[in-house]
Copies of this chain bind each other. A is one copy, B any other.
């Protein structure tokens, strides 16, 4: 294998194929016969890439067995991306000679079995504890607040807890979570699980280790936690204000309900994809703000998608440094390697390229309005799963484009960055400097 990132891609391809095969089995469907290959492939990819887009009505199309397959794919996909991205980071940082806080260990170049075990154990511990707590909260609420039997309530609680922590956004209701828009006992545990999963394993590891000493956090953790807080506050304000008087969304609720729903929809684009209002009804401004939040996404080496907050913040800092006339990009008492800035630039602009290309292709393949198509494309690429409702109407080739986008969006940024970082090399000689006019 020329590059460890190839192993990650192969692992996800394998899980996707196995998932597609399982979902094509007749017992996976409620109706007669097995699901057709495209539906199975789309659902399997959406689950294993923890996206949540769906061309069929999850609770009615899939049997309980089918739903359990989806749940397993979500868990495998979420666990897989957290562990594999973390291991990839260790490999890359070690080759670069950087001290990663993901591992206390040795100076060897290769990844030892002990380290792999430690990462697996850590991710497992965080995943299981978060999911258990959230599942318990949800189960109680489903049983006590909605008169579900304890068996059904536990199933609902577990499914939505797993779907939330892994940022998958699959729900067992035809309208996703629209029925629970005003219920903080459902919305808050789910939102917190989403945020927790989206921070990423490296952040969790460090926050747990340095519990009271946030001043000792690494640059990565400071950036991720800070940017997450800023994006959540900003998103909540913009979405709550933008939809305040929209009768089809927040307009009909009381003030606390509007703020709850506003917060919920600031959390969900980054990049869980649950929804408690209908994105077919929101204002144009909300749609665009949601697109921006989706594109930025969540933390690295977690269950969130998008270009990742650190990529975004790094570019922001680079611009700030430039406007201030400073030679170095600096933040939190650190000078940022110019290579990291160029890698962030590469990830961001290639992502813009992928989204633009897919948007152009989909406008050719379908008759839907540009805003709906663009929203769908960003949602697929950032593995969010929000939709204005056009997913099921898309023709086969358009669905295949989304399948490719989900895969690319899930694995593209992380494998690209590690590939770029591993190729870093110097020069034997430097050319004379040249400078074009710009602007």
What residues on B are CB-neighbors of A438 within 8 Å? 300, 308, 310-311, 314, 340, 343-344, 347, 413, 417
Instruction: Decide if A436 is an interface residue (CB 8 Å cutoff).
Output: yes
What residues on B are CB-neighbors of A426 within 8 Å? 327
What residues on B are CB-neighbors of A363 within 8 Å? 283-285, 288
Write the A352-380 contact mask toward B (1 if CB under 8 angstroms, else 0): 00001001110110000111011000000
A302 to chain B, nearest CB (A): 10
Instruction: Select the stretch in A24-32, A161-169, A269-277, A317-325 that faces chain B.
Output: A317-325
Q: Which residue of A287, A314, A347, A436 has the most chain B CB atoms within 10 A of its CB atom?
A: A436
**Cβ contact within 8 Å between B318 and A345:** yes
What residues on B are CB-neighbors of A339 within 8 Å? 322, 327
Instruction: Decide if A56 is an interface residue (CB 8 Å cutoff).
Output: no
A204 to chain B, nearest CB (A): 13
**Cβ contact within 8 Å between B370 and A334:** no
A369 to chain B, nearest CB (A): 6
Instruction: Decide if A423 is an interface residue (CB 8 Å cutoff).
Output: yes
Interchain CA distance A371-B330 in the complex, whole Å: 38
A342 to chain B, nearest CB (A): 5
What residues on B are CB-neighbors of A417 within 8 Å? 437-439
What residues on B are CB-neighbors of A285 within 8 Å? 360-361, 363-364
For chain A, the count of residues having a C-beta within 8 Å of the partner chain is 88
A82 to chain B, nearest CB (A): 13
Counting every copy of the chain, the complex holds: 2
Nearest residue (CB) in B for A342 is B322
Instruction: Decide if A117 is an interface residue (CB 8 Å cutoff).
Output: no
Interchain CA distance A255-B349 in the complex, whole Å: 36
Report A361-401 residues with CB < 8 Å from chain B CB.
361, 363-364, 369-371, 373-374
Partner of A342, one of B89, B318, B369, B374: B318
What residues on B are CB-neighbors of A308 within 8 Å? 437-439
What residues on B are CB-neighbors of A334 within 8 Å? 431-434
A102 to chain B, nearest CB (A): 9
**Cβ contact within 8 Å between A414 and B439:** yes
Interchain CA distance A315-B350 in the complex, whole Å: 11
Instruction: Decide if A197 is an interface residue (CB 8 Å cutoff).
Output: no
**Cβ contact within 8 Å between A436 and B319:** no
Report A199-219 residues with CB < 8 Å from chain B CB.
200, 202, 218-219
What residues on B are CB-neighbors of A345 within 8 Å? 315, 318-319, 322, 345
Instruction: Decide if A191 is an interface residue (CB 8 Å cutoff).
Output: no
Instruction: Decide if A346 is an interface residue (CB 8 Å cutoff).
Output: yes
Nearest residue (CB) in B for A369 is B369
Interchain CA distance A307-B323 in the complex, whole Å: 17
What residues on B are CB-neighbors of A347 within 8 Å? 438-439
What residues on B are CB-neighbors of A283 within 8 Å? 363-364
Write the A253-286 contact mask toward B (1 if CB under 8 angstroms, else 0): 0000000000000000000000000000001110
Nearest residue (CB) in B for A363 is B284
What residues on B are CB-neighbors of A340 within 8 Å? 435-436, 438
A266 to chain B, nearest CB (A): 16
Instruction: Decide if A333 is an interface residue (CB 8 Å cutoff).
Output: yes
**Cβ contact within 8 Å between B219 and A434:** yes
Write the A214-250 contact mask toward B (1 if CB under 8 angstroms, else 0): 0000111001100000000000000000100000000
Closest 8 CB pairs of A and B: A334-B434, A325-B423, A284-B363, A417-B439, A370-B371, A413-B439, A300-B437, A219-B434
Task: List 14 A-B pairs, Cβ < 8 Å.
Answer: A220-B437, A318-B342, A321-B342, A322-B342, A322-B343, A325-B423, A330-B431, A331-B434, A336-B433, A345-B345, A370-B374, A413-B439, A414-B439, A418-B439
